Amino acid sequence: MKTSWSILDLGSNAAQRAEIDMFERYIRGLDLQPQTENYETASQIEMATSPGRKTKARQQLLTLEQKCDVAKSMHKQMAEDLKRAKDLSERELDNYKATLEEADIHLTEVKKECCQFDRDIGKALRDKKSVTMSAEKVIRYIEDKVKAKESLIEKLHQKNAALLAYKKKLQIQLKQQEEMGEGLTALDFEQLKFGNMKCRKLLDEQNLRRVELKLLTGKTLHVLNSNKEKLQTLTHESDVLNSDSALRAKLLIKFEEETKQAEEERNKAEVLNRKLRGQLADFHVPHVLQYIKVKESHGQLKKSVKEWERKVEIAEVRILQTLKIYIYIPELCFLNDLIIIIPDGTKNVLKILGQASDHCWSQNSSSTTCSHRCWIVWFLKQQKLNMS
């Protein structure tokens, strides 16, 4: 029995504590205006809560209506607190969402800038074989990006200023409406709340669509870069094929010239062939006996020529042997001590003697030397006769 009573006492104590807590919060939430009912209720609650007045608290308990009023007041207060907490949490949630959206936008911009930098600068720096990138160009690229960001910030500042002005204008209009007694009703708030929810839903859809478009843009950029690489490869192959085509065109022109030259040579050869064929057709071979006779006559003539050449050589040798003398003519004063020497092996003996005779004749033409000149001429004539 004692155990059961102790459990009941604990339960009643917990209920009393909860009730006391509710009453205390109700007392703290009461208005400070002088209301008799509130003071009476507060005094009754204090008497009920004070430990030294148990007998009076038992005699002055709260009525059912008073408890109902306290419960309604606490319920209303808790609903207001819950609404404030809900508004605060929604505001914080909106702030967090805005922060996340801002972070996503910033991350997307950073990725986009990284892709653009890699496309414009990084790829050129990695490919050192084709392009040499200078530091001035990189600095100029960064300065251009900074200027673009500054211009974007300026535009956003202007837009923010315009929105602040519009907000101030709306606040003034709202204040004027409140002063004129045209405040918003609960229905207007419900409509605005419904419109806000609709706008939020549309904004979420637009954000989702924007994310999808960003992903599609990334894929498109990837495909574009791959197509650019393919285009560069195909352009290089096209240049190689164009150079090969030009080389083959030159070779074709050379082959055409060689073919033309070979055609001309073939035409010349055909003309010569036709001419030779005509000559061969008109060719008449003499009779064999006639050919033998001509051949025999030709051999005899060659033999006779050889014999005469032999005789001439023998005669020249005899002349050389005969003319190895000193010719001395003392009677000629103008040819004093004239010596004519004929060297061995000289074949133009008659020519030399003839020159000597002419020289003697031209040097002295007097009648006294006429016999001498005649003697020289006679000597020459004798030599000519001996040679013949």
Predicted structure pTM score: 0.33
For residue 277, the model assigns a pLDDT of 87
What percentage of the chain carries pLDDT values higher than 70? Answer: 67
Q: How many CB atoms lie within 10 A of CB 353?
A: 21
**Six token digits for residue 282:** 């008109």
- Lowest-confidence region among 77-91, 149-163, 271-285, 369-383: 369-383
Domain extents in the chain:
2-62, 134-183, 185-284, 292-387
What percentage of the chain carries pLDDT values higher than 90? Answer: 16
For residue 367, the model assigns a pLDDT of 40
For residue 7, the model assigns a pLDDT of 53
Name, of 54-63, 102-111, 356-365, the range with top average pLDDT.
Answer: 102-111
pLDDT in tens, 193-244: 888 888 888 888 888 888 888 888 888 888 888 888 888 888 899 899 999 9
For residue 263, the model assigns a pLDDT of 94
For residue 309, the model assigns a pLDDT of 93
Specify the residue for token string 């315009």. Answer: 162
pLDDT in tens, 109-143: 888 888 888 877 777 776 665 455 567 777 888 88
Query: How many whole angstroms separate alpha carbon 286 and alpha carbon 313?
Result: 38
For residue 127, the model assigns a pLDDT of 67
For residue 40, the model assigns a pLDDT of 47
For residue 360, the model assigns a pLDDT of 46
